[in-house]
Protein backbone atom coordinates (compact mmCIF):
# COMPACT_ATOMS: atom_id res chain seq x y z
CA UNK A 1 0.00 0.00 0.00
CA UNK A 2 1.29 3.46 -0.84
CA UNK A 3 1.38 6.37 1.59
CA UNK A 4 -1.24 8.19 -0.50
CA UNK A 5 -3.56 5.17 -0.39
CA UNK A 6 -3.06 4.78 3.36
CA UNK A 7 -3.85 8.43 4.02
CA UNK A 8 -6.90 8.27 1.79
CA UNK A 9 -8.18 5.08 3.48
CA UNK A 10 -7.66 6.55 6.95
CA UNK A 11 -9.07 9.98 6.05
CA UNK A 12 -5.82 11.70 6.97
CA UNK A 13 -3.90 14.61 5.46
CA UNK A 14 -0.12 14.90 5.70
CA UNK A 15 1.36 18.07 7.18
CA UNK A 16 5.06 18.09 6.38
CA UNK A 17 7.55 19.03 9.06
CA UNK A 18 11.02 20.39 8.41
CA UNK A 19 13.69 17.69 8.40
CA UNK A 20 15.75 19.45 11.04
CA UNK A 21 16.13 16.96 13.88
CA UNK A 22 13.08 18.42 15.63
CA UNK A 23 10.39 16.96 13.37
CA UNK A 24 8.86 14.59 15.96
CA UNK A 25 8.50 17.33 18.56
CA UNK A 26 7.24 19.88 16.05
CA UNK A 27 4.69 17.38 14.71
CA UNK A 28 3.41 16.83 18.26
CA UNK A 29 3.21 20.59 18.87
CA UNK A 30 1.34 21.04 15.59
CA UNK A 31 -1.20 18.34 16.43
CA UNK A 32 -1.76 19.50 20.03
CA UNK A 33 -2.00 23.18 19.06
CA UNK A 34 0.96 23.74 21.41
CA UNK A 35 -0.93 22.52 24.48
CA UNK A 36 0.28 21.94 27.15
CA UNK A 37 3.80 22.61 25.80
CA UNK A 38 4.32 25.92 24.04
CA UNK A 39 7.62 25.13 22.33
CA UNK A 40 9.74 22.31 21.01
CA UNK A 41 12.37 23.21 23.63
CA UNK A 42 9.85 22.88 26.47
CA UNK A 43 8.61 19.52 25.17
CA UNK A 44 12.16 18.19 24.71
CA UNK A 45 13.08 19.35 28.23
CA UNK A 46 9.99 17.72 29.75
CA UNK A 47 10.73 14.42 27.97
CA UNK A 48 14.35 14.46 29.15
CA UNK A 49 13.27 15.26 32.72
CA UNK A 50 10.79 12.37 32.70
CA UNK A 51 13.46 9.99 31.39
CA UNK A 52 15.78 11.06 34.22
CA UNK A 53 13.01 10.91 36.85
CA UNK A 54 12.02 7.39 35.79
CA UNK A 55 15.46 6.09 34.87
CA UNK A 56 14.88 2.69 36.49
CA UNK A 57 11.86 2.15 34.23
CA UNK A 58 13.49 3.24 30.96
CA UNK A 59 17.17 2.28 31.29
CA UNK A 60 16.58 -1.42 30.48
CA UNK A 61 15.30 -0.45 27.01
CA UNK A 62 18.55 1.26 26.02
CA UNK A 63 21.52 -0.55 24.50
CA UNK A 64 24.88 1.03 25.27
CA UNK A 65 28.38 -0.32 24.68
CA UNK A 66 29.89 1.23 27.81
CA UNK A 67 28.70 2.33 31.24
CA UNK A 68 24.91 2.22 30.86
CA UNK A 69 24.12 4.87 33.47
CA UNK A 70 26.67 7.37 32.17
CA UNK A 71 25.54 6.84 28.58
CA UNK A 72 21.89 7.16 29.65
CA UNK A 73 22.65 10.49 31.36
CA UNK A 74 24.44 11.67 28.22
CA UNK A 75 21.49 10.61 26.02
CA UNK A 76 18.93 12.44 28.17
CA UNK A 77 21.05 15.61 28.14
CA UNK A 78 21.33 15.36 24.35
CA UNK A 79 17.54 14.99 24.06
CA UNK A 80 17.14 18.50 25.46
CA UNK A 81 19.17 20.02 22.63
CA UNK A 82 17.50 21.28 19.51
CA UNK A 83 18.22 19.32 16.34
CA UNK A 84 19.48 16.31 18.27
CA UNK A 85 18.42 13.11 16.60
CA UNK A 86 19.11 9.67 18.01
CA UNK A 87 16.82 6.84 16.91
CA UNK A 88 17.29 4.89 20.15
CA UNK A 89 16.37 7.88 22.31
CA UNK A 90 13.47 8.94 20.13
CA UNK A 91 11.94 5.45 20.17
CA UNK A 92 11.64 5.70 23.97
CA UNK A 93 10.78 9.42 23.88
CA UNK A 94 7.69 8.62 21.77
CA UNK A 95 6.18 6.75 24.69
CA UNK A 96 7.28 9.42 27.16
CA UNK A 97 5.80 12.25 25.08
CA UNK A 98 2.50 10.39 24.65
CA UNK A 99 2.27 10.18 28.42
CA UNK A 100 3.27 13.84 28.88
CA UNK A 101 0.56 15.08 26.52
CA UNK A 102 -1.97 12.53 27.80
CA UNK A 103 -2.85 11.23 24.35
CA UNK A 104 -2.62 8.06 22.34
CA UNK A 105 -0.30 8.11 19.33
CA UNK A 106 -0.74 6.17 16.11
CA UNK A 107 2.41 6.08 14.04
CA UNK A 108 2.53 4.81 10.48
CA UNK A 109 6.13 3.76 9.89
CA UNK A 110 7.11 3.72 6.21
CA UNK A 111 10.14 1.63 5.25
CA UNK A 112 11.33 -0.06 2.07
CA UNK A 113 9.41 -3.14 3.22
CA UNK A 114 6.05 -1.40 3.51
CA UNK A 115 4.00 0.47 6.09
CA UNK A 116 3.63 -0.70 9.68
CA UNK A 117 1.17 0.75 12.18
CA UNK A 118 2.47 1.31 15.71
CA UNK A 119 0.21 2.46 18.52
CA UNK A 120 1.11 3.99 21.88
CA UNK A 121 -1.82 3.88 24.27
CA UNK A 122 -1.98 6.07 27.35
CA UNK A 123 -4.34 5.01 30.11
CA UNK A 124 -7.28 7.41 30.37
CA UNK A 125 -6.40 9.27 27.15
CA UNK A 126 -9.34 10.70 25.23
CA UNK A 127 -7.40 12.05 22.25
CA UNK A 128 -5.44 10.25 19.57
CA UNK A 129 -2.89 11.87 17.29
CA UNK A 130 -1.48 10.39 14.09
CA UNK A 131 2.06 10.66 12.77
CA UNK A 132 3.85 9.44 9.67
CA UNK A 133 7.41 8.18 10.19
CA UNK A 134 9.60 7.66 7.14
CA UNK A 135 12.88 5.80 6.95
CA UNK A 136 13.00 5.56 10.78
CA UNK A 137 14.23 9.14 11.02
CA UNK A 138 11.58 11.65 9.99
CA UNK A 139 8.11 12.48 11.29
CA UNK A 140 5.22 14.38 9.73
CA UNK A 141 1.91 15.22 11.39
CA UNK A 142 -1.28 13.62 10.09
CA UNK A 143 -4.60 15.46 10.44
CA UNK A 144 -8.14 14.22 10.00
Distance CA 120, CA 130 (A): 10
pLDDT at 6: 87
Distance CA 63, CA 72 (A): 9
Given a cut of 80, whether residue 40 has pLDDT beyond it is yes
Total structural domains in the chain? 1
pLDDT digits over 85-106, tens only? 777 788 899 999 999 999 999 9
| Residue 84 confidence class, pLDDT cut points 50, 70, 90 | confident
| More confident: 49 or 88 | 49
Beta bridge partners of 108: 117, 132
pLDDT at 112: 86
pLDDT at 19: 92
Q: CATH code at 133? A: 3.90.70.80
Kindly report the pTM of this predicted structure. 0.92
Distance CA 75, CA 80 (A): 9
pLDDT digits over 3-24, tens only? 989 899 999 999 999 999 899 9
Beta bridge partners of 15: 141
Domain hosting 73: range is: 3-143
pLDDT at 121: 98
> Taken in order 39, 91, 89, 13, is the CA torsion positive or negative?
negative
Distance CA 38, CA 40 (A): 7
Amino acid sequence: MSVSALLSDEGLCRVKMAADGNCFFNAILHLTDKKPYKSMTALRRAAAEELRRSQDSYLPFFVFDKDKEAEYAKATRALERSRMWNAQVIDIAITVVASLIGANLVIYNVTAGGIDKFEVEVEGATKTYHLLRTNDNHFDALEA
